[in-house]
């Protein structure tokens, strides 16, 4: 696994965030559930070659490797050395020898055509600046009849982030999170534009109620994320007003159970022919 990679400023910030989160990323079962469900929809078979984009701590790669067996292979790529180190340790514990981890920018991969039966990407698509171009590139790596499988979020997913988008827009700032995959129609259209066929979109609701104070914490925590960095352009006065509006919007959503935190998830699949 290479220990150096050239990244632009945005991707350096993303890598740094996930390096810091690497030791806690696997806490809880949310990410594991997403990975396992994507695996299920991808219909992976023994002997197949799999590319796992933004493999993270290896949640998708490890489960895929167990299915493809010794006659298959999984390659997991990521830009976070911290996440990859966690994945490497988990792979060793599992005794898997058919998984290769690569420190690599998934937007600049150079695998030969017809290299993979499945290409999977769980949760990470909003972090790619050139999604349509990326999908076209990744499609070129698939064998004839190969399948891409994406796990993405609806535009309304995660109430704190959704409200943050609405408030920011009032101040002339467009925060782009899951806009490209915001609805089932958008998911379908995105893959269609990238040249995929036989497109499937499976919707699941994984929402829950959260406390008001938990939702409010997103305000301070979000400023460390490059997708929200534009808010720093506001003057201190406007930022204070935006924060007050943000809190007011959240408070208006409080019920006796807390605030409903929508987590609409889409599993999107398409074949290259």
Q: Which residue has the tokens 């017809």?
A: 114
pLDDT tens for residues 91-101? 999 999 999 99
- Look at residue 273 in the predicted model and tell me its pLDDT: 87
Give the confidence band of 4 by pLDDT, cuts at 50, 70, 90.
confident
Q: Return d(Cα 64, Cα 48) in angstroms, integer.
A: 9
The CATH architecture one would assign to domain 9-153+178-207+260-271 is: 3-Layer(aba) Sandwich (3.40)
Instruction: Output the pTM of the full model.
Output: 0.94
Say if residue 2's pLDDT is above 50. no
Average pLDDT over residues 252-269: 98
Phi-psi region of 62 (alpha: psi -120 to 50; beta: other; left: phi over 0): alpha
- Look at residue 3 in the predicted model and tell me its pLDDT: 59
- Look at residue 232 in the predicted model and tell me its pLDDT: 85
Say if residue 14's pLDDT is above 50. yes
Say if residue 271's pLDDT is above 60. yes
pLDDT tens for residues 23-41? 999 999 999 999 999 999 9
Average pLDDT over residues 106-115: 96
Nearest to 179, CA basis, from 134, 116, 129: 129
What are the residue ranges spanned by the domains of the chain? 9-153+178-207+260-271
Judge whether 123 and 266 are in contact, CB under 8 Å.
no
Q: Return d(Cα 42, Cα 64) in angstroms, integer.
A: 10
- Look at residue 117 in the predicted model and tell me its pLDDT: 98
Helix (H, G, I), strand (E, B) or coil at 88: helix
Say if residue 1's pLDDT is above 80. no
Say if residue 20's pLDDT is above 90. yes
pLDDT tens for residues 216-260? 998 988 877 888 888 888 999 999 999 999 999 999 999 999 999
Give CA separation, 208 vs 149, 205, 257, 267, in Å: 25, 9, 10, 19
pLDDT tens for residues 151-163? 999 999 999 999 9
pLDDT tens for residues 38-87? 999 999 999 999 999 999 999 999 999 999 999 999 999 999 999 999 99
């Amino acid at each position: 696994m290479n220990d150096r990679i050239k990244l632009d400023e945005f991707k350096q910030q993303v890598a740094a965030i996930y390096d810091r989160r690497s030791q806690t990323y696997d806490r809880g079962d949310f990410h594991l559930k997403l990975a396992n469900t994507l695996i299920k929809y991808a219909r992976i078979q023994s002997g197949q070659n799999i590319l796992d984009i933004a493999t993270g701590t290896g949640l998708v790669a490890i489960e895929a490797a167990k299915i493809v067996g010794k006659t298959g292979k999984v390659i997991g790529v990521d830009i976070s050395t911290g996440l990859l180190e966690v994945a490497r340790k988990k792979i060793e514990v599992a005794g898997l020898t058919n998984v290769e981890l690569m420190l690599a920018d998934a937007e600049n991969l150079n695998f030969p055509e017809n290299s993979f039966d499945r290409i999977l990407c769980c949760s990470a698509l909003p972090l790619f600046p050139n999604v349509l171009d990326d999908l076209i590139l990744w499609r070129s790596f698939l064998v004839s009849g190969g399948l891409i499988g994406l796990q993405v979020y609806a535009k309304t997913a995660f109430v704190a982030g959704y409200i943050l988008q609405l408030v920011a827009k009032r101040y002339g700032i467009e925060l782009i999170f899951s806009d490209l995959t915001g609805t089932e129609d958008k998911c379908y259209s995105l893959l269609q534009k990238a040249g995929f066929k036989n497109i499937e979109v499976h919707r699941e609701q994984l929402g829950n109620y959260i406390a008001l104070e938990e939702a409010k914490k997103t305000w301070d925590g979000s400023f460390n994320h490059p997708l929200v960095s534009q808010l720093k352009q506001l003057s201190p006065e406007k930022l204070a007003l935006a924060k007050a509006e943000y809190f007011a919007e959240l408070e208006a959503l409080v019920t006796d159970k807390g605030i409903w935190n929508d987590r609409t998830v889409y599993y999107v699949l398409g074949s290259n022919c």
